[in-house]
Amino acid sequence: MHIVNARLRTAPGLHSIFCQNGRIHRIIAQSEPLAAQPGTLDASSNLVIPPLVEPHIHLDAVATAGQPEWNRSGTLFEGIERWGQRKATITHQDTKARAHAGIRMLAEHGIQQVRTHVDVTDPTLAALKALLEVRDEARSLIDLQIVAFPQEGIESFEGGRALMERALDMGADVVGGIPHFENTREQGVSSVHFLMDQAERRGLKVDVHCDETDDPHSRFLEVLAEQARVRGMGAMVTASHTTAMGSYDNAYCSKLMRLLKAANLSFVSCPTESIHLQGRFDTFPKRRGVTRVAELDRAGLNVCFGQDSLQDPWYPLGNGNILRILDAGLHICHMMGYDDLRRCLDLVTDHSARALGLGEGYGLVEGRPASFVILEAASDYEAVRTQAKALWSVRNGEVIMQRAPQQVQLLPGR
């Protein structure tokens, strides 16, 4: 495969990209635009970037909004109740069909790397069994990491520890947790120690739903960060949501930031879902309910954006387009200055890849997999401003998705 007239995020001008045996062989600067030849792919001066990444989604819950009831309060906790109702009725094929539908939505928008959280607080582990099959079946479209996610707790749910161990034995890739949902603070702390023990012993990554609440007294992030620091596991640990940080006072956050830097863990914010679920106990003023994304980023910590949900009890919308989340997140997190806008794709590409630990398996670099996306834009700024579509998605040197450029024509006299 040979791509011409490619615009890169990291270098001015146009470039040609040569691929061999599923890998990027050479990237060469062009002195002028080149005419497309048979067998070449013309990027037409559009951005060529590594694949978009979805670092946090729940594929086992896709397309379950309103089944059997809608989340009428809009709260996180009613969402968990409604999911509990739906979870009792899931089947193997139902879960697989919905997960595959979600993956197709993601792939249509240029996403090739996905981390999904799968509920393992179910004695049958039905959703996990289904997603383990989906992980293999969807390899032509995406690489899927599965988090063993204890939706109803590790310590507070009967048999929670044993279920987590079973899930990891079955092949889950990442150890999850939800310490703020445990019945007591002591149980929350204990759950963090347990999940970190499991990850360290098995050599697995960690991704914890952490402090997903407006409660400023929910401070399990410090527990997770300290465990990551003392074990030397920061590069393998992700704290998802951490919305309580948006309610912490600045004096505490100043101390916390020192620990977070020392721990060097990653963060995922799901801004559209957080602004929807949080602030529900406020009258006015209403808090945004989103973690301190800009502050984490400017402190040099790795932070990225995720979608979280596609039409489920927690969030009734969603279409798989991560640039929609990027747009909203930049607004919500006060990151609309040009310095943020000109590098905003980091939040849905490189930063997300780092959180997933993709290493040399990701990136527009010679010798790495020939996997990339052509966006209908010339820069990060234009990509988010216009909500640029992915025109081509190439995976290991093979085209897996193609979209015709958008054409709009105003009628004469209008």
Tokens representing 121 are 């607080």
**Residues recorded for the chain:** 414
**The one catalytic residue among 78, 152, 212, 376:** 212
> Cα–Cα distance between 108 and 320 in angstroms, integer?
8
Strand positions, DSSP E, 212-289: 237-241, 266-269
| Helix (H/G/I), strand (E/B), else coil: 139 | coil
Cis peptide before 285 (omega within 30 of 0): yes
Closest CA to 144 of 171, 123, 164, 121: 171
Report whether 192 contacts 227 (CB < 8 A). yes
Report whether 370 contacts 396 (CB < 8 A). yes
Residue with tokens 């729940």: 58
Residue with tokens 């069994």: 129
Report whether 87 contacts 35 (CB < 8 A). no
40 to each of 22, 24, 33, 204, 223, how far by Cα in Å? 15, 15, 13, 41, 52
> Nearest 5°: CA angle at 397, between 392 and 403?
15
Closest CA to 206 of 233, 244, 243, 166: 233
Residue with tokens 């990850």: 199
Active site residue 212: yes
The two most distant CA atoms of the chain are separated, in Å, by 71
In sign, the C-alpha dihedral spanning 225, 60, 360, 345 is: negative
> Cα–Cα distance between 95 and 158 in angstroms, integer?
24
Cis peptide before 38 (omega within 30 of 0): no
- Terminal-to-terminal C-alpha distance of the chain: 44
Phi and psi at residue 6, in whole multiples of 5°? -90, 135
> Cα–Cα distance between 50 and 363 in angstroms, integer?
5
Residue with tokens 């999911």: 83
- The catalytic residue positions are 212
